[in-house]
A and B are shown apart, each in its own frame.
Chain A
Amino acid sequence: MRAIARLVYSYFTSTPLTRALSVGGLVLCAASLLVLTSLPQSEHMLAVAYAGLLAFFLGSAFMPLMVGKLSRGHAARLLPHGRVKLLVSMMLTVALVALPAGLLTPFAYVAGVSGKWSDLQRNPQLLDFTINLGWVIFTSSCILAGWLYLAMYFITSQRNVAGFAKGLLVVVIIIVVPTREVNDLSATTSSNLLKLAVAWLVFGGLYLVWPRLKGAMANWRIPGLPFFGASSRTSGREVDLILGTANPWVYIAAQVVPVFIATFTGLASAAIWLYFLAIMSAVTGAVSGQAAERSRALWLRSGWSRAELFAQVEKSFWRHNSFMLGVLLLLMVGMGSYSGFPTSLLAAGLPLLILGTVLSTYLGLMITRGLGWTESLLGISIMLALMAVPLLLQAQNPNLVLVAAIEFKLLLLSLVLRIWARRRWTHIDWTQCRPSRVASARNA
């Protein structure tokens, strides 16, 4: 129990940023509870609750990375009940993150319907309904949080094509399944509990037996057979090979497969498609986050100055990312023509995808000293801005001026990020951006 409590505490408080987000999130949730029970209601009041829930979730964002690191290493194999305790700590974290949503929803509902708490005492059916609503939201949030953690785990722990593809697949599931359920209002506590039980049983079972399964699979391995995720590309420009940008087609395949699956799962709303592709465009550019640590070998082999090195690296990533961006734009246009997306959505959506890739590429290039506060906050802000545009376009009469203003500001931000990244590269210190130890151990 001590280990589980320590793990959960560490997930929420291990870095100054996650500590601030966790505490801030709880404070905002408490404040929204106060607002919901004491002030006249308006839609804007709920923004406090949403901000609190988001901050509290982001406060625990360290969990997938920490669990991944502990699980992959030898440590968990020798820690007494190591994997079991890690699994329980994950489940507890998911429940903790979902709890505020479950607790706040009944209050928000009552405040929205009548605002009179005495109604609950007078009407037992209303009381049952609100309690049930709390349970439904709590269990739905558990499912959603679980999927989000899984996507974060894949994207943060496996910085290769395999991780990228798995992360995107999970993003598809997140977007398709929960949004459909919210639209249909079909979720019930019992169906959610069943889904949770199945998901955790499957995930937990696989997680607990994975080391033995992996060991057994290692014995079945056929020598010389390439594995998904391992780069077998050996020809191309030296700069591209060193930076890992020689082969965009594997990444493109990793993008197209989730889109293909999403098409068959009935993702109908144009705005959700744009939302989905905007996330993909940001992930597309994010591969440049590895540029700094990989560029050392390039700098040692070439006679380039740091400024020239940046120019070459930038060019290489644009050669790579423009292919991926091109495919995203084609997908958007193709789906738009086929499904009859509104012209305004296409007109605002295409620049949004370009901006997503540009911004994430330069944000990635800015990471020359590891991921710090500045980069994290910028990343979160950019993602929120990218996600806000599809939401604005979803309205019946979208505010196109506001959308254009957001996109224009994002364009300016991309110029600033490029200048910032270039300046950082002129002073790059490779002792501050060592290659990932896990990756080097895996390669060894």
Chain B
Amino acid sequence: MSDPAVQASHLGKAFGTRQVLDDLSFEVAPGDVIGVLGKNGAGKTTLLELMLGFTPPTAGTVSVFGQASQQLSAGNKARVGFVPQQDELIDQLSVADQLKVIASFYPHWDGEFIDRLCGEWGVNPAARIKSLSVGERQKLSILLAFGHRPELLVLDEPVASLDPMARRQFLEQLVEASMDGNSSVIFSSHIVSDIERLANRIWILKDARLAWQGDLDSLKECVVRLHIRGGAETLEAMAISGELSRRRDGDFMTVVVRDFTPAMQADLRGRHGVDVEVESLGLEEIFLELHR
């Protein structure tokens, strides 16, 4: 197995007395496409910035390509691409000049690839950056992170300002980038359908911790909605482990649980004599249920 691109152990970050992230441990393997989900202020941006060494952790350690993220060598920096939430473009430059400035720092900038993407995404290299729309600026930020073909691509809400067409093109490029199996992609987004379509692993941040980290299929198998039919009194008294929410209507009840196993279904049937049906949930519903 290849070395992990990112490795964190008991990572924590506090701003004053406010604990934003607490005791996070994870690994990002080559080929992983990780979607980071969390409410506003959950610490998604802080997590991504900690990972890349933009801010020091207050607890634990994090390394990128086996090197402490705060002390990344130039060689390892050249293997990382980052798209920040707020673009950092220089308004006075033209698109082509901004691309040339950033390209000049990398020994292996793929100019042809960027030229092709500029054409496909409708980014005019001659345009002044200050004249670009928010979406066009975001496209350019993504191009700047793509050009050196990074092995680790970290994107902080990259599609928030893109139209559906550009979003689709961007997601296709991300898939292409991760298809070679050597590149890792970590991206945060509020557009759950994009994460569902693209990510093979999900991180859900809640109360400063990773409420879930694992592959999407496992998440969908664990967090399910149970449709239970039985006597009203039985349903009233029924206690179910890992229960997230419950709604009862006479002799019918729906319960969302977070640690479902097939054995649980058999156990409920056997112990309470109720009829149990299992419904899989979409990622958006799972996210909402986990945040109730």
Interface size class of A (residues with CB under 8 A): 35 or more
Interface-lining segment among B93-101, B173-181, B282-290: B93-101
Task: Say yes or no: A15 contacts B101, CB within 8 Å.
Answer: no
Residues of B within 8 A of A79 (CB): 77, 102, 105
Task: Say yes or no: A218 contacts B92, CB within 8 Å.
Answer: no
Task: Say yes or no: B70 contacts A3, CB within 8 Å.
Answer: no
In the assembled complex, A39 has its CB within 8 A of some CB on chain B: no
Task: Say yes or no: B15 contacts A218, CB within 8 Å.
Answer: yes
Task: Say yes or no: A441 contacts B92, CB within 8 Å.
Answer: no
Q: Nearest chain-A residue to B94 (Cβ)?
A: A14
Residues of B within 8 A of A14 (CB): 90, 92-93, 97
Task: Say yes or no: A77 contacts B54, CB within 8 Å.
Answer: yes
Task: Say yes or no: A215 contacts B55, CB within 8 Å.
Answer: yes
Task: Say yes or no: B54 contacts A80, CB within 8 Å.
Answer: no
In the assembled complex, B60 has its CB within 8 A of some CB on chain A: no
In the assembled complex, B163 has its CB within 8 A of some CB on chain A: no
Q: A3-B105, A218-B55 are in contact. Are A223 and B84 (CB under 8 A)?
A: no
Residues of A within 8 A of B49 (CB): 74
Task: Give Cα A210–Cα B233 distance, bound, in whole angstroms.
Answer: 66
Task: Say yes or no: A66 contacts B18, CB within 8 Å.
Answer: no
Residues of A within 8 A of B82 (CB): 74-75, 78
In the assembled complex, A112 has its CB within 8 A of some CB on chain B: no
In the assembled complex, A2 has its CB within 8 A of some CB on chain B: yes
In the assembled complex, A73 has its CB within 8 A of some CB on chain B: yes
Residues of B within 8 A of A444 (CB): 86
Task: Give Cα A81–Cα B105 distance, bound, in whole angstroms.
Answer: 8
Residues of A within 8 A of B77 (CB): 78-80, 82
Task: Say yes or no: B84 contacts A73, CB within 8 Å.
Answer: yes
Binary contact track A43-82/B, C-beta < 8 Å → 1, others 0: 0000000000000000000100110011011110111111
B 63-107 contacts with A by CB, 8 A: 70, 72, 74-75, 77-78, 80-82, 84-88, 90-93, 97, 100-102, 104-106
Task: Say yes or no: B97 contacts A10, CB within 8 Å.
Answer: yes
B 29-58 contacts with A by CB, 8 A: 49, 52-56, 58
Q: A69-B88, A85-B105, A223-B18 are in contact. Are A78 and B52 (CB under 8 A)?
A: yes
Residues of B within 8 A of A218 (CB): 15, 55-56
> For the complex, would chain B's binding face be called helix, strand, loop or mixed by DSSP majority?
loop
Task: Give Cα A218–Cα B17 distance, bound, in whole angstroms.
Answer: 12
Task: Say yes or no: A10 contacts B93, CB within 8 Å.
Answer: yes
In the assembled complex, A104 has its CB within 8 A of some CB on chain B: no
- Cβ contact of B92, chosen from A62, A211, A224, cutoff 8 A: A62
Binary contact track A280-306/B, C-beta < 8 Å → 1, others 0: 000000000000000000000000000
Q: A78-B82, A80-B78 are in contact. Are A223 and B16 (CB under 8 A)?
A: yes
> For the complex, would chain A's binding face be called helix, strand, loop or mixed by DSSP majority?
helix
Task: Say yes or no: B104 contacts A2, CB within 8 Å.
Answer: yes
In the assembled complex, A370 has its CB within 8 A of some CB on chain B: yes
- Cβ contact of B87, chosen from A5, A62, A215, A437, cutoff 8 A: A437
Q: A69-B88, A437-B86 are in contact. Are A81 and B74 (CB under 8 A)?
A: yes
In the assembled complex, B130 has its CB within 8 A of some CB on chain A: yes
Task: Give Cα A81–Cα B78 distance, bound, in whole angstroms.
Answer: 10
Task: Give Cα A385–Cα B129 distance, bound, in whole angstroms.
Answer: 33
Task: Say yes or no: B58 contacts A219, CB within 8 Å.
Answer: yes
Task: Say yes or no: A219 contacts B104, CB within 8 Å.
Answer: no
In the assembled complex, A222 has its CB within 8 A of some CB on chain B: yes
Task: Say yes or no: A66 contacts B90, CB within 8 Å.
Answer: yes
- Cβ contact of B104, chosen from A3, A215, A224, A438, cutoff 8 A: A3
Task: Say yes or no: A75 contacts B55, CB within 8 Å.
Answer: no
Task: Say yes or no: A73 contacts B88, CB within 8 Å.
Answer: yes
Task: Say yes or no: B93 contacts A80, CB within 8 Å.
Answer: no
Q: Nearest chain-B residue to A224 (Cβ)?
A: B16
Task: Give Cα A366–Cα B17 distance, bound, in whole angstroms.
Answer: 45
Of listed B49, B74, B85, residue having the most chain A CB within 10 A: B74
Would you give the shortest CB distance from B29 to chain A, in whole angstroms?
Answer: 21
In the assembled complex, A221 has its CB within 8 A of some CB on chain B: yes
- Cβ contact of B56, chosen from A10, A216, A221, A441, cutoff 8 A: A216
Residues of A within 8 A of B78 (CB): 80
In the assembled complex, A6 has its CB within 8 A of some CB on chain B: yes
- Cβ contact of A70, chosen from B74, B90, B92, B97, cutoff 8 A: B90
Task: Say yes or no: B17 contacts A223, CB within 8 Å.
Answer: yes
Would you give the shortest CB distance from A6 to chain B, in whole angstroms?
Answer: 4
Task: Give Cα A7–Cα B62 distance, bound, in whole angstroms.
Answer: 32
Would you give the shortest CB distance from A16 to chain B, in whole angstroms?
Answer: 10
Q: Nearest chain-A residue to B107 (Cβ)?
A: A80
Would you give the shortest CB distance from A424 to chain B, in whole angstroms?
Answer: 18
Task: Say yes or no: A82 contacts B105, CB within 8 Å.
Answer: yes
Task: Give Cα A70–Cα B104 distance, bound, in whole angstroms.
Answer: 14
Would you give the shortest CB distance from A376 to chain B, in whole angstroms?
Answer: 11
Task: Say yes or no: B101 contacts A10, CB within 8 Å.
Answer: yes
Q: Nearest chain-A residue to B53 (Cβ)?
A: A77
In the assembled complex, A427 has its CB within 8 A of some CB on chain B: no
In the assembled complex, A122 has its CB within 8 A of some CB on chain B: no
Residues of B within 8 A of A211 (CB): 54
In the assembled complex, A440 has its CB within 8 A of some CB on chain B: yes
Would you give the shortest CB distance from B254 to chain A, in whole angstroms?
Answer: 39
Residues of B within 8 A of A65 (CB): 90, 92
Residues of B within 8 A of A5 (CB): 104
Q: Nearest chain-A residue to B144 (Cβ)?
A: A75
Task: Give Cα A70–Cα B102 distance, bound, in whole angstroms.
Answer: 10
Q: A6-B100, A6-B101, A14-B92 are in contact. Are A77 and B52 (CB under 8 A)?
A: yes
Would you give the shortest CB distance from A90 to chain B, in whole angstroms?
Answer: 14
Would you give the shortest CB distance from A143 to chain B, in whole angstroms?
Answer: 27
Q: Which 9 A-B pairs have the closest CB atoms?
A: A223-B16, A73-B88, A80-B74, A441-B86, A6-B104, A3-B104, A79-B105, A215-B56, A3-B105
A-B contact pairs, 22 of them (CB 8 A): A3-B101, A3-B104, A6-B104, A10-B93, A10-B101, A14-B90, A14-B92, A70-B88, A73-B84, A75-B88, A77-B53, A77-B54, A78-B52, A80-B74, A80-B75, A81-B105, A82-B105, A85-B105, A215-B56, A218-B15, A221-B15, A224-B16
